[in-house]
Structure 1
Amino acid sequence: MIVENANYETLEGGTVVITIDMAGAPLNVMNDAFGDMLDTVLARLEAERDSITGVIITSGKASFVAGGDVNKILALTQGGAEAGFAFVQALKARLRRIESFGRPVVASINGSALGGGLELALACHHRIAIDDAKSQIGFPEVGLGILPAAGGVVRTVRMLGLMKALPLLTEGRRLAPQDALQQGLVDELASSREDMLAKAKAWIATNPSPRQPWEVKGYSIPGGNMFAPENIGAMSVFPSMIFKKTRGLLPAAERILAVASESTQVGFDAAMLIESRTFAELLMTPVTENLIRTMFLQMNEITAGESRPKGFEKQKVRKVGILGAGMMGRGIAYSCACAGIDVVLKDISLVSAEAGKAYSRDLLDKAVKRGRKTKEDREAILARIQPTILMEDLSDCDLVIEAVFEDVPLKKGIVREVEAVLKTGTIVATNTSTLPISLLAEASANPTNFVGLHFFSPVDKMHIVEIICGKGTSEETLARVYNFVQQIKKTPIVVHDSRGFFTSRVFSVFADEGDRLLKDGVDPAIIENAARDAGMPVGPLAVQDEVMMDMLLRSYKTNRVLDQELGDSYSETYAVCAELCELMCDCGRAGRGAGAGFYDYLPDDGKQLWPGLTEMFGGDKAMDYADVRDRMMYRMVVEAARCLQENVVTSERDGNIGSILAFGFPSYSGGVFQFIRSMGIDAFLARCETLASAYGQRFSPPEELAERLARSNTALIAINP
């Protein structure tokens, strides 16, 4: 029998197979229609209980159940905490009917089971998963600012104990089936769908009257409650471990810890109520909405190709050429080879090219040592990288990426040289953080095939690439490089040609404002701590030490020359940063790589702010702490607003995701544009006016900001707006 959104099939012998298949959707997600489907299925199961020997729950999709419908979760925020509480309580009641059905119920997990999907599986008496390394099993809710609220926290703790459950719940780990079996989230693995269903039937036949462990008389939570001797030590340090990661800005992990701990002190039903109430409270925090809108909905839009021009067939890059085997080129080569792409790595000397390949060998050796790759994987990846000094070896590449120093004449010369040997249609990309793409494209005979690809360092760890379209870049070229970025498992954001593009332009003012505060006489420790308290990974002074101030100074001088040539003033946006970088370099303190910068670096790998900073700048200026913090944060957001106004970035999703992944803008805020929306445009403009009156017009956003934000969500990507 087919019920709406599921198939209900009674097999010979009395086993019922429920195949969940939500109509018109690629995934099974838990929303109102899902709840209605469960109600219908449960009503029939309960009516036919006497003739049923067991139940198998599986999916008609490629995955099992993907969890809660995020749009439904966002809608719940409009109804207040009680709406969220009522929704999860109703879902809990349905899952409770499953585990209390009185007949064996087996979850046959034929793909990924995340969040609510795993909660459904945990409400069953036995779990069998197909052993597919691509499948993911776990609770990712913490990354959305919420917690598993359909019994996920309570059941996981009662199944596994606190010590095994807490890392899975608070870190949002996604496990492959083999790992899920080892952790105890699933009970068996199967080789195929047929094998899975056969094992489910066999288990039902030998377990006619199962009960959940916590319903058996004499049951106790594995390892005991939160105060058990074997738990008390770890429980005393868990809060500090979580705070070290979140700094109190992402409350979900702390609340999961609290619910998990408290659940060991009360009965099952009371624990379920604690879980639901906590979910409802978290649901109403701005952090939850920010994370859902940006890190889920907008990230999914990028993954689905919303910023990619439509109408072009998806193609894979077979072979890529990389010009320059230095820090950036070698990292790009590693990422491409790991994705199965053949790489020609060219440098001016074979020694340099071989050294570039050796970088991949070192990374792979570490991965093998940690068990993340096999020796066979390592050799296969290394075999894809061909070091060379011959430009002719790039002749059959589909894509060539130039990754030499930030020097306009050098880059232009290399573009001319490589294009002379390339086949028709090959895309030439330049890896640059600030140099105008249209200016570099002047050297290309085929500017429609020329594009900017801004990788971030270290390339093997940074999961974002900024695609910059020059004036001549074609939509087909954009579509092809968008596919390439995804092929190497990185997130593409699309921006348009401008001085500094988007990420470098916005991030440079963070360093500049930190230096302005230092020059104003604010204590450097207050500057660094205020930035971290706001959610930045490190303070502006530490950032400059890591990047190296001599490199920042060279970039400034290059851009000052370009300003003169182009009649621009881009370099002035971070002129104070350049001033202090020059001062520090003159003191022999160019940054961490030089052994000294704004910080002193200690023999034990520790560091401390250089005492000389207070001698040079005073450090005793009294300034409201909120102003110190907001000067750095608002400076970035205002600069991002200018980028939006100038069509450097044309969608909020690219700006939000780019700011979080590229330079660590706080994820709890949802990114630079969600920062404004979360605060409210009027409140944001009012704070900007206060800062501008006190500290300068650099804090004044574009006059048309409110109008632009009102229409930016529906803005379409245009190559040359």
Structure 2
Amino acid sequence: MNKHTSAKAQTLFRTERDDQNILFISTIEKQLPKKINIVDYLTQFVDVLNAAINQDTVIGIIYTCPIPAGEIGYKQLLEQISADPVMKKKIETVVLTASHWNDSKKPIVSILDHNCIGIALATMLWADCRIAIPNLTLGFPESKFGLFTGFGTTIHLPPLIGDANTLDLMTQGKLVGSQEAYDMGLLNKLTTFAEDCLSVAKAWIIQHPEVPSFSPLTTHELTDDDVFSIQKRARGLYPGTNAVIALLKDRLSLTLEESVEQETTLYCDLMEAPGPLNMIRTLHYGVREAQSNQRIKRLENYTLNKIGILGAGMMGSGIAYEAARAGIKVVLKDVNLAQAEQGKAYAIQLCEKLLKLGYMDTAQQEQLLSHILPSEKVKDLEASDCIIEAVFEDFQLKADVTKQSIPYLSEKGFFASNTTSLPITALAKATNDPKDFIGMHFFSPVDRMPLVEIICGEKTDQITLEKALTLALRLNKIPIVVRDGPGFFTSRIFFNYLLEGITMVLEGIPASSIEEEAIAAGFAVGPLAVLDEISLELMLHVYDQLPNLHASQKRAYNYLKTLISLGRKGKKAGAGFYDYDTSNKKKTIWRNPKIKALKDTQSPTFIRKRLLHVMALDSYRCLAEGVLNQPIDGDIGSILGVGFASHTGGVFGHIDLTTLPLFVQDCQTFQSFGEQWELPESLIQLAEENFHFYDGFISKWK
């Protein structure tokens, strides 16, 4: 090939023309700066390709992804958009220019030779044809952060895959593989090997000497059913999803120029909005930091070849599956072999689902299942590098199984209790060496819930913490580290969510309103539905484990006892806060005739605030008491552990969005509803200072 590199693109892009006059554009990655201004960088790429189009002798153009391999720096992009007053115009120019490329009729092909997500994939849509290698990961994950992928995605994607698929792909945060992308029309061709892409691209150009001009107008239209299903899940809380819906609805009535302007305006507005910033901080940077190895020193002579799990119930079985999937040998012990085998059957069930979906083959299934040894013999735990106790939430039972099994740990091993709320310091007394004892609170179902709350007891040492972090990361979990205390962090604030639901019922607020507004506020499940799901008897048992109960908790406790005496024990009993119809598997909210309804209907905002604020307030107490080290741990734990409204960025993100003075004012108006609303003096003082827990991406908590 003869190289023709323009002066403007010398440092970043390489252009090569072959003897057929097909031009190939690629990035000179070795010359890329550590930090790039993504919009200026794409402007340069568009200029290079424009120059190629304007060369009369060039018959077609091929380019690889102009975005360097790796993730988009959301923080940097946000800062650049905020700092540059003409950034919106720059983005519009890039997208509009790329959208007019095929006015020249010259065929343009993009080659996807590495994973492309977000803006990287958007740039691939600018071509007339997309060719990819197998086993890539593609998609638009920005919706997880309240954003959407701009840069022409809502304009170029619908003609390829239709409005409904576009809406789904751009708002659900899901990633797809090469084959699925090809099947839906996102890709035009798949090659067997990476080295074949260039020749296939050239052949396509020769076969298509002219291409039709791009038009965003198509016959694909968004149906009301398409929009309803997405809005039902998003509940109008995610601005990126709202933007995509609006753009897809309007696109058939707009010119190309109007579509580009509308998309870019919404994109830049969202990039500067506080909600998405909070979500990026928590769910992208916070999670990435939690999963980094920087908190772990090099552990000499410590391996994770074998772990023992005590209890083959739902939690123990789920942990066993995750460990086996990570390639760790597991002894799954229960009181008898039948129960242990039943625990392994859960792993078999999960594997069968993956087989049907094509995400696992039989060889992988056999290998995973071979790692799990069901057993009733404590001696099978011999030489375990870690033993995780996952039995029923009873202090004495946990102490008994700990004493029986701890002698079988390897010399460098540690013991972990998977407990929801029992104090780790007290549980550690069952061993002679509490420094090797720690809490690892997994969430159910373990195979789908990413969080692990690691709880340090008073005598847990740093090495044990690092071993627990090593295990959590090996299981591909997101760990947060908290200090010991009743309920730790996640369970403690979640108990307040459930308490507030019961409290409002006793006040005469309709149970249906409580549940509806919980969902509208962004919670995964309403508090009363949660209580039915876990069973009212289990909630009483949890209350029994707490060292003391204040008056509001006692009222809730007594009401739960009353419901249980009426046979309303929860979902399994067919009745609780809901009535359950076993014939059609539907549930309807139950209204207790003995509770007098309030004369004045409470506003939706009132109910939502109480449910959100009560968890955020107790999160602050956890921070002030040292249960939490930093606000980001609370934000991650609240969203990923107990389903707090993710659009806020977490409990402390919620306070910052509300502003602390208004938050404190709201809580003061709620103080007549119970002790859960008592305000620490330190929080009142911070409100007087108009304190914010974050300044952008930086924590201000010392």
Q: TM-score, normalised by structure 2?
A: 0.89
Assess if the C-alpha contact under 8 Å between 2:65 and 2:110 holds in 1. Answer: no
Shift of 1:24: 9.2
Q: Which of 413, 422, 429 is equivalent to 2:409?
A: 422
- Letter of the structure 2 residue corresponding to residue 581 of structure 1: L
**Distance in 2 separating the partners of 1:714 and 1:312:** 30
Assess if the C-alpha contact under 8 Å between 1:56 and 1:107 holds in 2. Answer: yes
Assess if the C-alpha contact under 8 Å between 1:140 and 1:174 holds in 2. Answer: yes
Assess if the C-alpha contact under 8 Å between 1:110 and 1:129 holds in 2. Answer: yes
SS in 2 for 1:704: helix
- Letter of the structure 2 residue corresponding to residue 20 of structure 1: T
- Letter of the structure 2 residue corresponding to residue 276 of structure 1: T
Structure 1's 595 and 697: CA in aligned 2 closer, same or farther, altered over 3 A? closer
Q: Which residue of 2 aligns with 1:377?
A: 364
Assess if the C-alpha contact under 8 Å between 1:556 and 1:571 holds in 2. Answer: no
Assess if the C-alpha contact under 8 Å between 1:316 and 1:483 holds in 2. Answer: no
Assess if the C-alpha contact under 8 Å between 1:513 and 1:632 holds in 2. Answer: yes
User: Residues 411-438 of structure 1, C-alpha deviation per residue, up to 9 Å, x if partnerless?
Assistant: 2232232221221111211100111112
User: Residues 283-317 of structure 1, C-alpha deviation per residue, up to 9 Å, x if partnerless?
Assistant: 454432332222223222223356x3455589873
Structure 1's 663 and 25: CA in aligned 2 closer, same or farther, altered over 3 A? farther
Q: Which moved more, 1:92-101 or 1:410-419?
A: 92-101
Structure 1's 397 and 56: CA in aligned 2 closer, same or farther, altered over 3 A? farther
Q: Which residue of 1 aligns with 2:45?
A: 38
Q: Which moved more, 1:618-627 or 1:336-345?
A: 618-627
State whether structure 2 residue 290 is matched by structure 1 residue 302: yes
Q: Which residue of 1 aligns with 2:132?
A: 129
User: Residues 51-102 of structure 1, C-alpha deviation per residue, up to 9 Å, x if partnerless?
Assistant: 54543322599x74745x412443367469x766334313314534655566
**Distance in 2 separating the partners of 1:26 and 1:538:** 46
Q: Which moved more, 1:148-157 or 1:444-453?
A: 444-453
Structure 1's 316 and 261: CA in aligned 2 closer, same or farther, altered over 3 A? farther
SS in 1 for 2:411: coil
Map 1:104-143 onto structure 2 (within 5 A).
Answer: 104-132=107-135, 135-143=136-144
User: Residues 179-236 of structure 1, C-alpha deviation per residue, up to 9 Å, x if partnerless?
Assistant: 1111111122234432223333443444444455539xxxx72xx143xxxx7xxx02
Unaligned runs of 5+ in 2: none
Map 1:512-523 onto structure 2 (within 5 A).
Answer: 512-523=499-510
User: Residues 482-531 of structure 1, C-alpha deviation per residue, up to 9 Å, x if partnerless?
Assistant: 23223223222221111111000000001111111122222222222222
Q: Which residue of 1 aligns with 2:252?
A: 264
Structure 1's 573 and 646: CA in aligned 2 closer, same or farther, altered over 3 A? farther
Shift of 1:347: 0.8
State whether structure 2 residue 38 is matched by structure 1 residue 8: no
Q: Which residue of 2 aligns with 1:545?
A: 532
Q: Which moved more, 1:310-319 or 1:191-200?
A: 310-319
SS in 1 for 2:594: helix
Q: Which residue of 2 aligns with 1:689?
A: 668
**Distance in 2 separating the partners of 1:303 and 1:99:** 44
**Distance in 1 separating the partners of 2:297 and 2:659:** 33
Map 1:268-417 onto structure 2 (within 5 A).
Answer: 268-283=256-271, 285-305=273-293, 308-310=295-297, 317-417=304-404
Q: CA RMSD in A?
A: 3.2
Structure 1's 467 and 411: CA in aligned 2 closer, same or farther, altered over 3 A? same
Q: Which of 461, 469, 474 is equivalent to 1:487?
A: 474
Q: Which residue of 2 aligns with 1:161?
A: 162
SS in 2 for 1:583: helix
**Distance in 1 separating the partners of 2:528 and 2:284:** 32
Structure 1's 573 and 437: CA in aligned 2 closer, same or farther, altered over 3 A? farther
- Letter of the structure 2 residue corresponding to residue 506 of structure 1: I
Shift of 1:21: 5.4
Q: Which residue of 1 aligns with 2:425?
A: 438
- Letter of the structure 2 residue corresponding to residue 580 of structure 1: Y
**Distance in 2 separating the partners of 1:176 and 1:30:** 29
User: Residues 318-354 of structure 1, C-alpha deviation per residue, up to 9 Å, x if partnerless?
Assistant: 3221011122111211222233322110111111111
**Distance in 2 separating the partners of 1:481 and 1:647:** 20
Q: Which residue of 2 aligns with 1:617?
A: 595
How many pairs does the alignment contain? Answer: 687
Structure 1's 97 and 162: CA in aligned 2 closer, same or farther, altered over 3 A? closer
- Letter of the structure 2 residue corresponding to residue 492 of structure 1: P
Structure 1's 34 and 511: CA in aligned 2 closer, same or farther, altered over 3 A? same
Give identity over the alignment, percent: 32
Unaligned runs of 5+ in 1: 564-568
Assess if the C-alpha contact under 8 Å between 1:99 and 1:123 holds in 2. Answer: no
Q: Which residue of 2 aligns with 1:644?
A: 623
- Letter of the structure 1 residue corresponding to residue 45 of structure 2: L
- Letter of the structure 2 residue corresponding to residue 125 of structure 1: D
SS in 2 for 1:684: helix
Q: TM-score, normalised by structure 1?
A: 0.87
**Distance in 2 separating the partners of 1:530 and 1:104:** 53
Structure 1's 286 and 328: CA in aligned 2 closer, same or farther, altered over 3 A? same
Q: Which residue of 2 aligns with 1:584?
A: 563
**Distance in 2 separating the partners of 1:588 and 1:129:** 60
State whether structure 2 residue 517 is matched by structure 1 residue 530: yes
Structure 1's 83 and 630: CA in aligned 2 closer, same or farther, altered over 3 A? farther
**Distance in 2 separating the partners of 1:314 and 1:160:** 53
Assess if the C-alpha contact under 8 Å between 2:509 and 2:602 holds in 1. Answer: no
Assess if the C-alpha contact under 8 Å between 2:96 and 2:257 holds in 1. Answer: no
Structure 1's 650 and 90: CA in aligned 2 closer, same or farther, altered over 3 A? farther
Q: Which of 244, 257, 260 is equivalent to 2:232?
A: 244
Q: Which residue of 2 aligns with 1:566?
A: none
Q: Which residue of 2 aligns with 1:458?
A: 445
Assess if the C-alpha contact under 8 Å between 1:107 and 1:124 holds in 2. Answer: yes
Q: Which of 92, 97, 105 is equivalent to 2:95?
A: 92
Assess if the C-alpha contact under 8 Å between 1:395 and 1:422 holds in 2. Answer: yes
Map 1:642-681 onto structure 2 (within 5 A).
Answer: 642-681=621-660
